Amino acid sequence: RTLSSRSVEAIAEYIKDGRPKNIVVMTGAGISTSAGIPDFRSKDTGLYANLARLDLPYPEAVFDISYFRGKPEPFYVLAKELYPGKFFPTVAHSFVSLLDEKFMLMKLFTQNIDCLERRAGVPDDKIIEAHGSFATQRCIECKTEFPGDKMLEAVESGEVPHCFVPQCNGLVKPDIVFFGEGLPDSFFQHKHLPSMADLIIVMGTSLSVAPFSVLPQLAAEDTPRLLINKECVGDFGSRPDDVVLLDDCDSGIRKLADALGWRDELESMWSE
């Protein structure tokens, strides 16, 4: 066993001892809910429970590539609400940035498409956007990239953007990964990193979408794993060095920062 106990204090002790230099963080929609962006699967507040107005055959259809081909409008109704720009990073995002400043962050794997980890200062080359992002967009037929300013115009006016390559006129979609599409190459190129990590931190995800959901299991057996989430997910709790903190991401992160003596640093980083 690597940790002295299954507690946040023991994780802090382990970090302060200077052992972890290769921390891998994995995140999901739960780290952005306090920024005002709904998650997907929470029972009353999640996106999937609140899509009746879009008249979908099933909630996930809004992110399904075959459904989108036939009926892109519902996605664009949501895109207007979720489009990055009007949201600010949470203290949990800032913590990841702080880990990087302390040269401890190996990689951040995120399922989020809100670009808030970049906004919090995590460098691009440390972020694997496993489900893509709203940062770029392209035609789903000829794959030609579509300009960002034209995309913003389309999203704001509620009009579905189309490719302007002559004779194509295909639908344009942000480079977020829909159901029925493969994850980006960057995910598969870096998917082995959890096995080399000396600490895993998972926050704000139900770990219900594969292949992302298997990442925490790729950690070595004696690598401590910390989960900060409102509910226990995946196989957390099954290993001797698992620490499960059932808490709000922000308040859990503040507990960890307190135990580390990093609280002031964290708060000033967040308020910048």
Residues classed as catalytic:
131
- Establish whether 115 is an annotated binding residue: no
Q: How far is the CB of 168 from ligand OAD (least distance, A)?
A: 25
30 lines the binding site for ligand OAD (CB under 6 A): yes
Helix (H, G, I), strand (E, B) or coil at 21: coil
Q: How far is the CB of 229 from ligand OAD (least distance, A)?
A: 4
Q: How far is the CB of 207 from ligand OAD (least distance, A)?
A: 6
Cα torsion at 118, 178, 181, 206 (round to 10°)? 70
Angle, CA 31 vertex, CA 26 and CA 32 arms, to 5°: 130
Choose from Zn ion, ligand OAD, none: what does 230 bind? Cβ within 5-8 Å by kind: ligand OAD
Q: Which string of x and - marks every residue 127-166 that binds ligand OAD (by CB under 6 A)?
A: ----x-----------------------------------
Comparing CB distances to ligand OAD, the nearer of 37 and 155 is 37
34 lines the binding site for ligand OAD (CB under 6 A): yes
Interactions with Zn ion, residue window 128-147 (CB under 5 A): 139, 141-142, 144
Quick one: which of 185, 29, 176, 191 has its CA closest to 116?
29
User: Which residue bears the tokens 């498409």?
Assistant: 113
> Residue 13 is which amino acid?
E
Residue 249 DSSP class: H
From the list 168, 214, 232, 246, which residue makes contact with Zn ion (rule: CB under 5 A)? 168
Q: Which string of x and - marks every residue 176-215 that binds ligand OAD (by CB under 6 A)?
A: -x--------------------------xxx-xx------
13 lines the binding site for Zn ion (CB under 5 A): no
Task: Give the integer Cα–Cα distance in Å for 198 and 226.
Answer: 11
- Are the beta carbons of 231 and 248 closer than 8 angstroms? no
> Residue 6 is which amino acid?
R
- Establish whether 28 is an annotated binding residue: no
Interactions with ligand OAD, residue window 211-240 (CB under 6 A): 229-231, 233
Q: How far is the CB of 80 from Zn ion (least distance, A)?
A: 22
Token pair of 56 as six digits: 């979908």
- Establish whether 229 is an annotated binding residue: yes
The partner residues of 25 in beta bridges, in order of sequence, read: 108, 201
In our burial notation (b when 16+ CB lie closer than 10 A, e otherwise), range 27-64 reads bbbbbbbbbebbbbbbeeebbbeebeeeebeebbbbbb
40 lines the binding site for ligand OAD (CB under 6 A): yes
Helix (H, G, I), strand (E, B) or coil at 46: coil
Choose from Zn ion, ligand OAD, none: what does 234 bind? Cβ within 5-8 Å by kind: none
28 lines the binding site for ligand OAD (CB under 6 A): yes
Helix (H, G, I), strand (E, B) or coil at 252: helix
Task: Give the integer Cα–Cα distance in Å for 57 and 31.
Answer: 28
User: Which residues define the annotated binding site?
Assistant: 29-33, 39-41, 111-114, 139, 142, 163, 168, 205-206, 229-231, 249
Q: Which residues contribute to the site for Zn ion (CB under 5 A)? A: 139, 141-142, 144, 163, 165, 168, 170
